[in-house]
Chain A
Amino acid sequence: MMAKQEQTRSPLLEEALAFGGPIVVFDQVDLAFDEKVILRGVSFTLQTGHTKIFLGASGAGKSTILRLALGLLRPDSGRIFVNGEQIDGMSEDALMQVRADLGMVFQEGALFDSLTVGENVGYKLYEELKWPMAQAEARVREVLGFIGLGEFIDRMPSELSGGQRRRVAIARAMAAKPRILLYDEPTTGLDPITSLTVDEEIIKLRDLEGVSSVLVTHQLRDAFFVAEHAAARDGDKIEFERAAGGKADQAEFIMLKDGGILFEGNASDLRTAAKGDAYIRSFLS
């Protein structure tokens, strides 16, 4: 059985499962809801420390990819690997172990209404990982400080603005120090200035904490900002500068159309592709 499975591995999968290989792998993933095809033969790899940015029209299947990576949905066919483990056929109990290394920022935040900001951020630490109270509280204060909302620890989610809720959602996702963060339209509905602060959090986590990330958005300005900027520590300050050389290649765009991948490449490749493809051009314009 194992030998047969080895033989059916595609070259992409061989590379993906090699030592030090990618952290998330989609291999020929198909998904349909009743008659509606959502994803058709989607394959990609997310390397450690890199960012994948999914673009596409509403209903193109962008958010579905995040839910598949998290095991919240199962594909009809194809294989999904997270940290080298095949998750597409895993039981819910086994998926809980895989999710320990994943964090997700949902659209609108999905904060728990009945818990304070601090309890939301520390939820996984208190409830699932059973950290000692003092250690968990220290970590909650640390991550809230990281996103600049330290003084909001005792507020309820209903007392926060939209941007603050997204940032708390990022803090909640990163509290348990996952190596992979999934962002589902984290800046949709936010004003440009607030969006920029959220973008900077994503860059900080990637460049300063070494978190691999998958970003789903249709906010082009935010997508290009995350792809083309890098964060660096300068003493106590954090500076954001234009990414250059290999750093710029660590963020890749994937454009979805009709359930399949229309384009995959870095920011400059995307701009070049727009000249020759009417759909990409219209999307970018």
Chain B
Amino acid sequence: MRAKLETWAKDAVLEVQEYVRLIAKVARAVVTPPIYYRDIIEQFDSIGIGSLTVVLLAGLFTGMVLALNSGITLDQFGARSMVGRLISASMVKELGPVLTGLMVSGRVGSGIAAEIGSMLVTDQIAALRALGTDPIRKLVVPRVLAGLIMMPMLSVLATGIGMVGGWIVTVLQFHVASTVYWSSVVQGLYMQDVWMGLIKPLFLGFTIVTIGCHVGLRTTGGTQGVGNSTKLAVVASSVAVIAVDFMVTKVLIVLMY
């Protein structure tokens, strides 16, 4: 039992060490040539545009269900006109970034781990190195940059469409005038909330993509290993999204409120 615990602890420390080393290599590769611009553009498209549908749908239905539930409760106090305020505060600060993070970790984190893992077990990563290409620069850096830049954009879009979803339900279900809803949305927004909604996705995007790359690059054991890596990437990045969200929120509250 003790030996098993020791092995587990050593493996955990090794994973953390390798993850930190990967981040250090990425940090160095971002500021030194060569930089593969074409791959960066491709990843912007793959991670950003490719995730748009799933993120918009998740945002829309979350805004709708939030309006539905909060509308029923607020109606009991005669405050149905406040629904917009509640939706904007929830979506901008919390639900927009976190739901986008969870959707992206399911779609992008798993995809990255599977793609890089497959390349590893079929010797394509070794072939890249043999041809004089650093796999960190070619494969990891473009994905990290795309994750960092596209996540805030996706989060803003998810938040926006969530507000639209809330508007649809508030107007059709609770018969609140559009102008009342949108002015309530604006009243519920503070600059600190907006900053929080923009800063959080940066951290979440970085976390999702680096975990996907790390897990992919540590793949062993052929096609079964690729499957395991894919599963691990989704689980680890989803949990990390929630944990990082908490930590970043805590820090931002101390700094901004």
Instruction: Report which A residues bind B (CB closer than 8 A).
Output: 67, 70, 72, 92-93, 96, 99-100, 102-104, 106-108, 110-113, 123-124, 127-128, 172
Contact = CB atoms under 8 A, between A and B. Distances in A.
A172 B130 CA distance: 11
Nearest to A127: B133
Give me the 9 closest cross-chain CB pairs, A-B, nearest first: A110-B123, A110-B127, A104-B130, A128-B132, A106-B123, A124-B131, A96-B132, A99-B132, A110-B124
A189 to B, nearest CB: 14
B129 interface: yes
A123 B126 contact: no
Contacts of A111: 124, 127
Give the contact-size bracket for chain B.
10 to 19
Contacts of B132: 96, 99-100, 124, 128
A127 B139 CA distance: 13
B226 to A, nearest CB: 13
A72 to B, nearest CB: 6
Given A96-B134, A127-B36, A112 B129 contact: no
B17 interface: no
Majority SS at the chain A contact face: mixed
B139 to A, nearest CB: 11
Interface in B133-159: 133-134, 138
Contact of A99 (B122, B124, B129): B129
A103 B131 CA distance: 7
A106 B130 CA distance: 10
A113 B127 CA distance: 12
Contacts of A99: 129-132
Interface string B98-131: 0000000000000000000010001110110111
A110 B126 contact: yes
B122 A108 contact: yes
Nearest to A103: B130
Contacts of A107: 123
Contact of A128 (B118, B122, B127, B133): B133
B134 A110 contact: no
Contact of A67 (B34, B36, B126): B126
B65 to A, nearest CB: 39
A100 B131 CA distance: 7
A276 B122 CA distance: 40
Nearest to A130: B34
A102 B124 contact: no
B130 A70 contact: yes
21 contacts: A67-B126, A70-B129, A72-B130, A93-B134, A96-B132, A99-B130, A100-B132, A104-B127, A106-B130, A107-B123, A110-B122, A110-B123, A110-B124, A110-B127, A113-B124, A123-B131, A124-B132, A127-B131, A127-B133, A127-B138, A128-B132
A112 B123 contact: no
B121 to A, nearest CB: 10
A156 to B, nearest CB: 14
Which residue, A102, A104, A110, has most C-beta atoms of chain B within 10 A? A110
B116 to A, nearest CB: 12
Given A96-B134, A127-B36, A72 B124 contact: no
A125 to B, nearest CB: 10
B134 A106 contact: no
Nearest to B39: A127
A112 B124 contact: yes
A128 B35 CA distance: 11
A72 B126 contact: yes
A224 B65 CA distance: 73
